[in-house]
Amino acid sequence: MSALLKTKIKYNNKTALFFLVPSLIGFLIFFFIPFVGGLYYSFVDSPIGGRFVGLANYMELMKNPVFLKAGYNTLVFTVISVPLNILLSLGLALLLNRRIYGRNILRMGFIIPLVVPVASVVLVWQILFDINGALNSFISWLGLSPIDWMKTDFARIVVVIVYLWKNMGYNMVLFLAGLQKIPPEYYESADIDGAGNWHKFIHITLVYLTPTTFFVFVMSIINSFKVFREVYLISGAYPHDSIYMLQHYMNNKFAALDYQMLTSAAFIMAVFFYILVLFLFKIQRKISSTIGG
Amino acid sequence: MQITRQIKKRLGKTILSVILIAIAAIFLFPLVLTITNSFMSQQEIDNNYSMVISKDSSQENSAFSGKYANVKLIPNMVTLKQYYTALIKKTEFLIKFWNSAIIVVPIIVGQVLVSSMAAYAFAKIEFIFRDKLFFTYIIIMMMPFQVTLVPNYIMASKLGLVGSYASIILPGIFGTFGVFLMRQFMIYIPDAYIESAKVDGASHFKIFFSIILPMSKTGLAALSILVFIDNWNMVEQPLIFLQDVNMHPLSIYLSNINSGEMGIAFAASTIYMLPMLLVFLYGESYLVQGIQLSGLKG
């Protein structure tokens, strides 16, 4: 049927172009052309009158300990924070989806961090996580020895907490919307069959949340790359080793105007990301064809 | 029997609410701390927090000074002195606030305009390579900052824009998120509206401005809010494109506040988040719809 319809489609290229032109011009100038053109820099040894060096820049980058460290840190952060974010925001959404007192006001409380500028609360994080900070005050009150949160590997935990604070609201909104779309009849007929709560959760809730979860997963990964803002604002251009992210590396290359390394790094990341996105879309197609959503 | 079950149900509901309120309180804590502390005097703030901020943050290992920060939510004495200093006595702060506005407003207006037009083409007009082009847009949208900033910078330096606001504003306007979001919205507008207008002899141009745009008000509001949030927060681009510190937006200024000015930091932070809080209170439903929209597949 759909194949039949497709043959009948009449292209209206001129009208489409009229509406697309402003966006297309900007897209080409600021993203597409310089992106492709940037490839050139990654294959030469100097931005002006450079010699073709093949993959030498890439090889050098893959051997560069600072780049590898930054890539590793970014990966570790994403692998820890994304699943945590999904689990916690799903939990919150499930709780908020019940009939409880003050639901709307509570929901607001969880969304607000989303709109609060990172820079506005940097002071608060510093007050909490500094060696002389409020958290250590509490820890020493418990009789334990204080922790140097920002200058040891604990910095990773701090960054995860800050990321969760900011990003859980977004996922929670998506999960709530997903939950509300599950027809209540499914639960009612499961009740008639005498299904337990756990059974209903696994076989109805989770199954029908799969498309939402997939999207939440993609968005969480994208947003996890933005955590640099917090890290930079809290601890500057050279933070503790464990939270030195890819963006720190790129920023410092910008400062040195090292085009070759910049473009090579950008392309490695772009390819990595492109494969990731394609892979995720493939999985999604498989999932939605099995549950028919 | 009936009554005890009801009591049990109520009790469960109450316990759940209490737990959630506690979690919400943790979420709101940074906000509440910032706002309440903005009404403290310089002296009180110094007493409470000087041990946290006053030292050099570039040190390899920070030493414990023997005194902990003392978090207080209620000022000893409420004063508007910090606001007076930030808003009237120091011109620097207002200039940075203005810088933020200069960057954000054109991006919102530009992106809403440019992307709603493109979104209409993607949602309602058949044209060659449509799906391939849209996929390219989505891929660019999903690329992390780290990747797209490089082509942005290459083009800005070729055009001689580095150091000017245009180097930040122009790529901001042509970001593809708006196209994606507005397409998601417009795709749910029934084709019947367009078809009947066509029968009446309306051009696509007329259909777009007199039917599609008015019907997309919710989507446009949602997009404006999301773009506002994202760009009011901007940190990466000014760091790279604007060497002149005087041109930096408030976000970067706030992160560099040193010990001497700690008093105004809370007041400055509060003023900085105020536009966002107002937008949130006024447009929470749009924000929520915008997020939900981004999660629909079309």
Q: Which of A100, A113, A174 sits opposite B17 (nearest CB)?
A: A100
| pLDDT at A290 exceeding the cut of 80 | no
Question: pLDDT grade, residue A175 (50/70/90)?
Answer: very high
CATH number for A149: 1.10.3720.10
Q: ipTM value of the model?
A: 0.84
Question: pLDDT grade, residue A250 (50/70/90)?
Answer: confident
Percent of chain A topping pLDDT 90: 23
Whether residue A43 lies inside any domain: the answer is no
Give yes or no for A117 touching B (CB within 8 A): yes
- Report how many domains make up chain A: 1
Give yes or no for A287 touching B (CB within 8 A): no
Mean pLDDT for the stretch of residues A221-235: 83
Mutate to test the interface with A, among B68, B176, B209 (most CBs of A within 10 A): B68
CATH of B91-294, one of 3.30.1490.190, 1.10.3720.10, 4.10.80.400, 3.30.450.20: 1.10.3720.10
Question: pLDDT grade, residue B80 (50/70/90)?
Answer: confident
Q: Are B251 and A233 in contact (CB < 8 Å)?
A: yes
Q: What is the pLDDT of residues B117-129, one digit of tens each?
A: 999 999 999 898 9
Q: Which residues of A touch B173 (CB under 8 A)?
A: 26
| pLDDT at B58 exceeding the cut of 60 | no
Q: Are B254 and A122 in contact (CB < 8 Å)?
A: yes
| pLDDT at A115 exceeding the cut of 70 | yes
Q: What is the pLDDT of residues A64-93, one digit of tens each?
A: 999 999 999 999 999 999 999 999 999 999
pLDDT of residue B112: 96
Q: Which domain holds residue A167?
A: 63-291
Shortest alpha-carbon distance between residue A127 and chain B (Å)? 6
Q: Are B13 and A100 in contact (CB < 8 Å)?
A: yes
Shortest alpha-carbon distance between residue B88 and chain A (Å)? 20
Domain positions in chain B: 2-55+68-84, 91-294
pLDDT of residue B171: 93
| pLDDT at A8 exceeding the cut of 80 | no
Mean pLDDT for the stretch of residues B62-91: 77
Q: Which of A116, A225, A229 sits opposite B146 (nearest CB)?
A: A225
Mutate to test the interface with A, among B6, B17, B20 (most CBs of A within 10 A): B20
Mean pLDDT of chain B: 85
Shortest alpha-carbon distance between residue A64 and chain B (Å)? 18
Shortest alpha-carbon distance between residue A146 and chain B (Å)? 9
Spell out the SS3 assignment of chain B: CHHHHHHHHHHHHHHHHHHHHHHHHHHHHHHHHHHHHCCCCHHHHHHHHHHHHCCCCCCCCCCCCCCCCCCCCCCCCCCCHHHHHHHHHCHHHHHHHHHHHHHHHHHHHHHHHHHHHHHHHHHHCCCCCHHHHHHHHHHHHHCCHHHHHHHHHHHHHHCCCCCCCHHHHHHHHCCCHHHHHHHHHHCCCCHHHHHHHHHCCCCHHHHHHHHHHHHCHHHHHHHHHHHHHHHHCCCHHHHHHCCCHHHCCHHHHHHCCCHHHHHHHHHHHHHHHHHHHHHHHHHHHHHHHHHHHHCCCC
Half-sphere exposure at residue A293, Cβ-oriented, CA atoms within 13 angstroms? 20
Q: What's the whole-model pTM score?
A: 0.86
Size of the A and B interface in Cβ pairs below 8 Å: 312
Q: Are A22 and B250 in contact (CB < 8 Å)?
A: no
pLDDT of residue A293: 44
pLDDT of residue A272: 87
pLDDT of residue B258: 60
Shortest alpha-carbon distance between residue B252 and chain A (Å)? 7
pLDDT of residue A28: 93
Q: List all residues of chain A from 76 to 95 with a beta carbon under 8 Å from chain B.
A: 92, 95
Question: pLDDT grade, residue A219 (50/70/90)?
Answer: confident
